[in-house]
Amino acid sequence: MQPILTVGSVAFDSIKTPAGEVSRVVGGAATYFSLAASFFAPVRLVAVVGDDFGPRQQTVFDGRPIDLRGLQRVAGETFRWRGEYYDDLNRRETIYTELNVFDAFRPRIPAEFRASPFVFLANIHPALQLEVLEQVASPGLVALDTMNYWIEGTPDALRRVLARVDVLIINDEEARQLSGERNLVKAARAIRALGPPRVVIKRGEHGVLMNLGERFFAAPAMPLEEVCDPTGAGDTFAGGFIGYLASAAGMSDAVLAQAVVAGSTMASFAVQAFGVERLLRLDTAEVAARFEQFRQLTQFEPL
Ligand code: AMP
């Protein structure tokens, strides 16, 4: 089990879906990532919160191997985001993004975290992602998430950081936008030419497509009768994926395939309740049982 350093947002989210509404719940990409990854390996979280993020909010991280020494607290308000989903849960509108203390955030990696063997750069400005990489001592694996905003707004900085990444974890529309290719097989190849030798494309309810050079591996999403809130599913997937890799002895193609299913398993829980609620009351036996359901879902005999 090797530690994972992650840098990204810790937020107050307000979310409306056809299943209901919550306001000002603890969210953020790095929160979902850390909670999911911590089921498999220790996590070192670097982020910023305001003075409105008190001990009560911080309890989401309690009792888990999540090291908060890199969580900066500064005067001001925590990052806030509101999203509303349509009946088609694949479609979401961002109602507001208030950067608040995140606006002046400069990641400072504590000395104790600098030799982290696994690094996950959640979706933040690519220049900040580069700043993180400047502060760490040649990690074994660097994974990165990004979004349309940076693909459009800061393409040069994004290309500089992509050149230093081992795994890009990205959703299908972003993969198309980044590569200029509609077809995901061509998109994965074009993205590999930018640097990352492994590309993991998240396709929402259609599952995940991973490209490892010549080889592809695909996993469906778990068929669920009730999806309550898809917020953070991508970050939760990334947490399960990287967490599993950090817990494994090596990184063969077979281990990477298991990691995709571990990520999909964690994401399938996250969407079953609002915010991080389901992750907070999840136990390892449930994770193991759903991993096995995934195996059965995709198992078939040769022709
Ligand atoms: P996802 O559903 O995977 O897009 O992740 C949603 C999470 O990302 C929410 O918890 C938000 O607080 C967080 N988030 C939304 N926009 C941003 C942004 N521009 N930068 C960092 N985190 C964000």
CATH of residue 109's domain is 3.40.1190.20
Best of 100, 202, 231, 237 for a ligand 1 pocket test (most atoms within 8 Å of beta carbon) = 231
Calpha distance 108→291 (Å, rounded): 36
CA of 28 to the centre of ligand 1 (A): 5
Chain-centroid distance, C-alpha 2 = 18
pLDDT of residue 9: 97
Instruction: Give the tens place of pLDDT for each residue, 90-106.
Output: 889 999 999 999 999 99
Secondary structure (3-state) at 18? coil
Q: Is the CB of 129 under 6 A from ligand 1?
A: no
Name, in order, each residue with C-beta under 8 angstroms of 179's C-beta and a sequence gap of 6 or more: 186, 187, 188, 190, 191
The mean pLDDT value of the chain amounts to: 96
Q: Which of 165, 143, 129 is nearest to 7 (CA)?
A: 129
Distance 259 CA to ligand 1 centre (A): 22
Distance 191 CA to ligand 1 centre (A): 23
Are 51 and 75 in contact by the 8 Å Cβ rule? The answer is yes
For ligand 1, atom 4, which residue shows the shortest CA distance? Answer: 232
Q: Is residue 303 part of a domain?
A: no
3-state helix, strand, coil in the chain (%, to 5): 40, 25, 35
* Confidence category of residue 41, pLDDT binned at 50, 70, 90: very high
| Percentage of the chain exceeding pLDDT 70 | 100
What is the model's pLDDT at position 42? Answer: 98
Please check the confidence at residue 293 and state whether its pLDDT lies above 90: yes
CA–CA gap between residue 170 and residue 210 (Å, rounded) = 10
**Amino acid type, 109:** I
| Residue 78 covered by a domain | yes
pLDDT, mean of residues 6-19: 98
For the stretch 210-229, pLDDT in tens is 999 999 999 999 999 999 99
CA distance 238 to 38: 12
Pairing state of beta strands 141-144 and 167-171? parallel
298 CA → ligand 1 middle, Å: 30
- pLDDT for residue 90: 87
The CB density around residue 233, as the number of other CB atoms within 10 Å, is: 25
What is the pLDDT averaged over residues 114-125? 96
9 Cβ below 6 A of ligand 1: yes
Asked if residue 153 is part of any domain, the answer here is yes
In a domain, 178, yes or no: yes
Q: What is the pLDDT of residue 19?
A: 96
User: What DSSP letter does each residue of 276-293 carry, written as one string?
Assistant: THHHHT--HHHHHHHHHH
Asked whether the predicted pLDDT for residue 258 surpasses 90, the reply is yes
Structural domain span for residue 277? 4-297
Asked whether residue 38 carries a pLDDT value surpassing 90, the answer given is yes
Kindly indicate the confidence band of residue 284, based on its pLDDT and cuts at 50, 70 and 90: very high
Q: Are 198 and 143 in contact (CB under 8 A)?
A: no
What is the structure's pLDDT at 292?
A: 97
Residue 75 scores a pLDDT above 90: yes
Is the pLDDT reported for residue 82 higher than 90?
A: yes
Tell the residue number behind the tokens 């040069």, with chain if given: 156
Q: In this structure, is residue 33 part of a structural domain? A: yes
Q: With contact defined as beta carbons under 8 Å apart, do 207 and 221 qualify? A: yes
234 within ligand 1 shell (Cβ under 6 A): yes
Read off the pLDDT of residues 107-118 as tens digits, 9 standing for 90 and up: 999 999 999 999
Q: What is the mean pLDDT of residues 194-207?
A: 96
The CA dihedral of 134, 138, 140, 145, to the nearest 10 degrees, is: 10
- Quick check: is 272 in a domain? yes
Q: How far is the CA of 24 from the centre of ligand 1 (A)?
A: 13
Q: Is residue 82 part of a domain?
A: yes
- Residues 6 or more apart in contact with residue 254 via CB below 8 angstroms: none
Q: How many CA atoms lie within 13 A of 245 on its CB side?
A: 24
Residue 103's pLDDT is what? 92
Q: Into how many domains does the chain fold?
A: 1
pLDDT band at 206 (very low <50, low <70, confident <90, very high): very high
Percent residues over pLDDT 90 in the chain: 97
Asked if residue 193 is part of any domain, the answer here is yes
pLDDT, residue 99, reads 95
Q: Whose CA is nearest to atom 15 of ligand 1?
A: 81
Distance in angstroms (rounded) separating the CA atoms of residues 142 and 245? 12
Q: Are 122 and 7 in contact (CB under 8 A)?
A: yes
